[in-house]
Structure 1
Amino acid sequence: MSLSTIKQFIDYLQSASTAQQFLQQTYEKQNMDEADTYSYQNSYRFLYYLEHGHTFYQTAAQSPMTVQPILLFYGMVHLIKACLLTQRPTYPENTTVLAHGVSTRKRKKQDYSFLQDEVKVQQKGLFPYFSQYLFDVDHVNMEKRNMEQLLASIPEMTEMFYFLRKNPSLIDIGEGKRGVYIFPEEVLDQYHLTENAFLSRLKKDIGEVSLEKRGGEFLISLEKPISSLSKGPFLFHQIKSTYFFPAKRHYYHTYDEVMIHYLLLYNLSMICRYETEWWGDLIHTKANEDYPFIKQFLAITTVKVPFLLGEFLFKQK
């Protein structure tokens, strides 16, 4: 799906009538009761979530790095809420789902490193809620996540990790034409798995697959095509339009990439607001590797999250 198509579709939804029609069609496809009533009740809320979300993103793109994490995080939250209305017409059902659903350390240590920081997923709140209802992912498997691991799961960050670690965090496995992806044989060594065990793991997470050897690589064929919504372990590189796969088992996961951006932006927005001295020093002194990684991530997420969530909405049509 092209970025221009997604943008035009979001523009198409920028009226009460088109928003209402879209919601009604979406609810009817899911066989919901009172689809007509809910679509009228939610049309303006849906419209304003989209409008406010994209306004935050547009403002962030024109703002200094100092305030970008706050603008991007709340822009993302508004777009997520718009997506939730397509699946949960009574959202929010209660006040517990209004919390962020994630927490960070209250005070940063003296030798604090963002790459080594962690966030903790809470039992209730927006993060576990949208993970379940938008992406069918159970938050229990993500109780604590490290920032470096999260950043390493974003395909557009792969080169940065190669510069830092001399090894890529993800490998390019191709466009997936006819559902076929190309893997180097070394992947099995990195995962410490036999061919059969590797295939079993993939079957468990993504469905039926088959393997064919060819020289120093093997071809993996998927029965069902992968969506560019970018869900691990097959992650979509927006610029190259190819799919990436975790190079090591340490990076392997089955989370939707939107979830990863949410956790990173939440932590950065909290740092931006409450750790202003560290944040100011980072931006002005550029003292360690945190700076280029954060700067690169902010540039990527500004474009990619509206694309991914826009495609989520488009696929409901």
Structure 2
Amino acid sequence: MNNNYDFYTYLTSQQTAQNYLFSCYKEISEVDAASKSYENYSAFMYYLEHGKSFYEIGDTVDLFAKPVLYFYGMTHLLKGCLLSRRPNYPESTTLLSHGVTSRKRKKKNYSFMEDDVKVQKKGLFPYFSSHLFNISNMPFEKVKMEDLLSVIPEIQSFFNLQQSRRMIAVGSMDSRFLKFPTELLDNYHLTNKAFIKRIEPNLPLIEDLDIDKEYIQLKIARNITSSNGPFFIHMKDRTIYFPYQRNHFLPISEVMIHYLLLYNLSMLCRYEAEWWGDLLSSKSDLDYPFIRKFLNITAEKIPQILQHELLSVGKL
């Protein structure tokens, strides 16, 4: 795991973990911050420590085991984030399930890109989606893996090699201006006004608007700093990307996207030994380079995003 994630290590002591939780809980009404921070610091500390360890081990093993290690690393970090906002987490045993299901039996000519997962009403996925990212109404009941990969900015180079445009750059984290080519309107089947109305709920306040034949340019009240759909951020160059096609308009957090992909890959790794073994040994399918690329991205990006979530809630 990248050395930039020192905050996780810093919080793996009783004093720092308890002080951090106290700063989080004192902002929550009807919670005894001192008592709850003492009660929860140990679990919080180990969620982060174990999550960090899963990622570090995942970085050292062969590709065949990475999905499982990264998935459990992610779930532990998510639980740490939840405990910073939900002093009584987990409130029930129903929250301990993954909150997602995949097909039990794979078709003969199975393709990961064409596979899908189904979201459940209870479990970790809907719970963290609601309490970390304020998303209670999912825009889908089930979703295809290719559609999820299509909105990860760092994977766009692979789609570009296929001459398949999935996202476009519309701005930067360092600027309050967003610029959309008007050709998007044909893809979204929307007028200028309807397009702006469509994206407005996912943006800070729009302060200024300029429309000509080629572009729609917006000035927003504050910079976009979180990778939440339909605006996704490239972790290296800080560019903001937007879905080029209407069917990839997913107003959810990128954390949710990585969770669904990692869940399905970890299930394949654990329970579809023949398919997984063939994929890694023969490298015959298009799935292989996309899976390998995704695993490299998620290993670095998710700890980075979840660290930002922790830093945004509590202070030391």
Provide TM-score, normalisation by structure 1: 0.94
Match among 103, 107, 110 for residue 108 of structure 2: 110
> Hey, what does 2:171 align to over in structure 1?
174
Of all paired residues, the percent bearing the same amino acid is 45
Are residues 112 and 5 of structure 1, via their aligned partners in 2, closer, same or farther at CA, if it must alter by over 3 Å? closer
1:66-105 alignment, distance < 5 Å: 66-105=64-103
CA contact (8 A) 1:6 1:311 kept: no
> Hey, what does 1:288 align to over in structure 2?
285
Instruction: Say yes or no: does 1:260 pair with 2:264.
Output: no
SS in 2 for 1:148: helix
Instruction: Say yes or no: does 1:278 pair with 2:275.
Output: yes
Are residues 45 and 7 of structure 1, via their aligned partners in 2, closer, same or farther at CA, if it must alter by over 3 Å? same
Match among 177, 185, 203 for residue 206 of structure 1: 203
Separation in 2, partners of 1:28, 1:190: 47
> Hey, what does 1:54 align to over in structure 2?
52
> Hey, what does 2:134 align to over in structure 1?
136
> Hey, what does 1:238 align to over in structure 2?
235
CA contact (8 A) 1:102 1:121 kept: yes
* Superposed displacement of residue 167, structure 1: 2.6
Runs of 4+ in 1 over 3 A off after TM superposition: 3-6
* Superposed displacement of residue 211, structure 1: 2.4
Structure 1: gaps of 5 or more residues: none
SS in 1 for 2:64: coil
SS in 1 for 2:240: strand
Provide TM-score, normalisation by structure 2: 0.95
Instruction: State the Cα deviation string for residues 217-271 of structure 1 (Å, max 9, x = none).
Output: 23122224322x3100111100111111111111101100000000000000000
Separation in 2, partners of 1:26, 1:32: 13
CA contact (8 A) 1:100 1:126 kept: yes
Instruction: Say yes or no: does 1:162 pair with 2:160.
Output: yes
Separation in 1, partners of 2:264, 2:303: 19
SS in 2 for 1:115: coil
* Superposed displacement of residue 206, structure 1: 2.8
The aligned length equals 313
Match among 302, 313, 316 for residue 316 of structure 1: 313
Structure 2: gaps of 5 or more residues: none
- State the one-letter code of the partner of 2:179: I
Separation in 2, partners of 1:304, 1:150: 15
* Superposed displacement of residue 215, structure 1: 6.7
Are residues 142 and 211 of structure 1, via their aligned partners in 2, closer, same or farther at CA, if it must alter by over 3 Å? same
**CA RMSD in angstroms, aligned pairs only:** 1.7
> Hey, what does 2:144 align to over in structure 1?
146
Separation in 2, partners of 1:81, 1:274: 25
Separation in 2, partners of 1:5, 1:174: 28
* Superposed displacement of residue 145, structure 1: 0.7
